[in-house]
Amino acid sequence: MATTTKGRGFFRNAVDALVEARTRQAARYVNGALLMLDDETLKASGYSREELRRNGAITAGF
């Protein structure tokens, strides 16, 4: 059975990479949704528009 240098299997690494990619995708989606809120609501929730833009967002489809 072939494993990586860390001793983890191929499928485990593939699943970990998939989970990480989907987590980043979900964060971009949420950032895009939050950017649709007004500045006052964002501030009350502890976010800033600049911070959300810096973290990236998916705005297409909204």
Q: What is the pLDDT of residue 62?
A: 45
- Higher-confidence residue of 60 and 25: namely 25
> Which pairs with CB-CB distance under 8 Å and at least 24 residues apart come from 12-21?
none
CB burial readout 25-59, b (16+ within 10 A) else e:
eeebeebbebbeeeeeebeeeebeeeebeeeebbe
pLDDT, tens digit, 9 for 90 and up, residues 23-48: 999 999 999 999 999 999 999 999 99
Tokens of 12: 């485990």
- Give the C-alpha separation, 47 to 34, whole Å: 9
Domain boundaries, the chain: 26-62
